[in-house]
């Protein structure tokens, strides 16, 4: 995953657009400063400004490239946990629930994209990242919410930080669990998974010392190829046995649905990459719309997740584990290869997953306090090491894959993927919509907000209770 940070936003001054006249002179905004430079508004002035025409992207991506990036951002460890999610919810609830959650997530992403475009027009800037969009929206909304505009950027950053660190925890548990599954079979021993976490710790730290994303790109390419091959082999194992509905629950428990909700959110949402991908497109107008890149990607993603969850659960039933790779037959070399391949693919992309957390922690907070210290690079390496150690210690404390996935999905993505987009749309158009249109917007987004809050509270509390039980059992 990447974040829309580290790229300099360029706001153009003046009313001359891309109409053959003298090109406007760019005014650079510090990318680490979220407080927007709001120009004096003139009636109708924003209508003359098209943010898409003023974006200066060195290597813009095509529609197909953006589609692939969006698929990559959503297809990871989450899809391997979908059969377990269907086990918690029941296969009927799992299918319907995944479709509805996918529809809700897609709709909320559309709200975010449209609000960003509208706010960019008003502020006359080419693009905004997530924290800046949230801040700008609150400044445009009701007077009661404007005082929150300064703190909201930190709230968004905290959720992004927790989510990215949570993803890294999932990676550590996933890699260690799959290595353990292979090693235990061939050594005929039951080694504690924490030992394998300790073994991979030092290389993880070294991977996260890479400061330039350019050097991590080859690892991502290798990982994508390995992941694609591995998914194909997993599907082979799923479909080689007859599918049976015997002893497969149609409807699960309420607590099971809470775990399901968090897992699906974690798996489906790629909210951290949405704005960066749209901002880097050659034709950003093609991102939204009924037949845009976003809808095409989400249809494919939801279909893949429903298929993996449904058929994976029907195949393994109540025996399904936190990752379907752990259910593959131990005695077959091909199955062991899949576990090793996916462990390797996730392992080498840990630096990409942790990059956003490092970027937020270092560039947005720590670096500002250090100023121009000659030892700033050394302190940056310390910060990178500490963040990796945090994810490592969390994984060691509760090495349970499905509970980690459900917890961070419910806690962070209920807010980032559902609640905040609804709040952003409401504030953005607070003074523009009147009468029944405004009333409908408020009611609709209030319902979305309630769903998000309930998902956050119930999903997080259920996951925490399960984690406490697991921790107690381990002790």
pLDDT tens figures, 185-216: 998 888 999 999 999 999 999 988 988 767 77
**Could you tell me if residue 293 is inside a domain?**
yes
**Could you tell me if residue 32 is inside a domain?**
no
**Could you tell me if residue 50 is inside a domain?**
no
Which residues, including other chains, have CB under 8 Å from residue 77's CB and lie 6 or more apart?
170, 171, 174, 323, 346, 401, 405
CATH value at residue 65: 1.20.1740.10
For residue 316 the two structure tokens come to 């393994």
Helices 149-187, 271-279: crossing angle, 10 deg rounding: 110
For residue 80 the two structure tokens come to 């391997």
Distance between CA atoms of 159 and 388, rounded to whole angstroms? 18
- Give pTM, 2 decimals: 0.82
**Could you tell me if residue 377 is inside a domain?**
yes
What three-state secondary structure class fits 188?
coil
**Could you tell me if residue 12 is inside a domain?**
no
**Could you tell me if residue 303 is inside a domain?**
yes
For residue 229 the two structure tokens come to 């091959």
**Could you tell me if residue 474 is inside a domain?**
no
**Using CB atoms within 10 A of its CB, is residue 275 exposed (0-12), middle (13-18) or buried (19+)?**
buried
Distance between CA atoms of 354 and 387, rounded to whole angstroms? 8
Number of domains, the chain: 1
Q: Which of 152, 194, 156, 151 is nearest to 172 (CA)?
A: 194
The Cβ of residue 211 has, within 10 Å, a number of other Cβ atoms equal to: 15
Helices 420-428, 130-140: crossing angle, 10 deg rounding: 40
**Could you tell me if residue 10 is inside a domain?**
no
Residue-range definition of the domain harbouring residue 346: 57-469
pLDDT band at 15, cuts 50/70/90?
very low
Phi, psi of 398 (to 5 degrees): -135, 85
pLDDT band at 348, cuts 50/70/90?
confident
State the average pLDDT over residues 136-149. Answer: 93
Mean pLDDT is lowest, of 41-50, 340-349, 458-467, for 41-50
What is the per-residue pLDDT across 65-105, written as a single tens digit (0 to 9) for each? 888 878 877 777 889 999 999 999 999 999 999 999 999 99
């Amino acid at each position: 995953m990447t974040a829309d940070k580290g790229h300099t936003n360029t706001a153009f001054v003046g009313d001359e657009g891309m109409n053959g006249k003298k090109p406007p002179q760019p005014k650079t905004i510090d990318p680490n400063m979220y407080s927007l430079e709001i120009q004096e508004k003139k009636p109708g002035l924003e209508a003359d400004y098209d943010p898409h025409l003023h974006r200066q992207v060195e290597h813009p991506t095509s529609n197909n490239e953006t589609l692939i990036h969006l698929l990559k951002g959503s297809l990871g460890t989450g899809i391997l946990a979908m059969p377990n999610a269907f086990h918690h919810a029941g296969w009927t609830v799992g299918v319907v629930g995944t479709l509805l959650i996918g529809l809700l997530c897609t709709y909320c992403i559309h709200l975010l994209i449209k609000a960003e475009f509208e706010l960019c027009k008003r502020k006359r800037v080419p693009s905004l990242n997530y924290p800046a969009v949230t801040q700008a929206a609150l400044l445009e909304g009701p007077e009661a919410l404007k005082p929150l505009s300064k703190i909201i950027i930190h709230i968004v950053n905290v959720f992004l930080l927790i989510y990215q660190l949570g993803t890294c925890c999932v990676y550590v548990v996933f890699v260690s669990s799959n290595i353990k599954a292979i090693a235990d079979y061939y050594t005929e021993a039951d080694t504690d998974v924490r030992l394998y976490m300790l073994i991979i710790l030092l290389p993880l730290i070294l991977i996260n010392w890479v400061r330039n994303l350019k050097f991590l790109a080859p690892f991502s390419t290798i990982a994508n190829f390995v992941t694609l091959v591995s998914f194909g082999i997993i599907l082979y194992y799923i479909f080689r046995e007859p599918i049976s509905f015997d002893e497969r629950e149609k409807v699960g428990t309420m607590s099971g649905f809470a775990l399901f909700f968090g897992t699906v959110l974690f798996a489906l949402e790629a909210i951290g990459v949405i704005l960066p991908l749209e901002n880097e497109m050659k034709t950003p107008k093609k991102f939204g719309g009924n037949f845009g890149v976003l809808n095409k990607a989400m249809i494919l993603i939801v279909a893949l997740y429903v298929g993996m969850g449904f058929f994976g659960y029907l195949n393994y039933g109540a025996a399904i584990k936190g990752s379907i790779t752990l259910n593959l037959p131990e005695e077959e070399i091909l199955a062991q290869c899949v576990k090793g391949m996916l462990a390797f693919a996730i392992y080498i992309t840990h630096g990409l997953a942790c990059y956003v957390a490092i970027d937020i922690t270092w560039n947005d907070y720590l670096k500002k306090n250090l100023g121009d210290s000659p030892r700033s690079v050394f302190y940056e390496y310390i910060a990178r090491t500490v963040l990796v150690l945090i994810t490592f210690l969390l994984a060691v404390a509760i090495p349970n894959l499905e509970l980690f996935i459900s917890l961070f999905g419910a806690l962070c993505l209920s807010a980032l993927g559902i609640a905040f987009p609804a709040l952003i749309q409401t504030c953005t158009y607070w003074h523009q919509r009147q009468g029944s249109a405004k009333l409908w917007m408020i009611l609709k987004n209030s319902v979305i907000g309630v769903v998000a809050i309930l998902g956050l509270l119930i999903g997080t509390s259920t996951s925490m209770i399960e984690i406490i039980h697991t921790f107690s059992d381990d002790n």
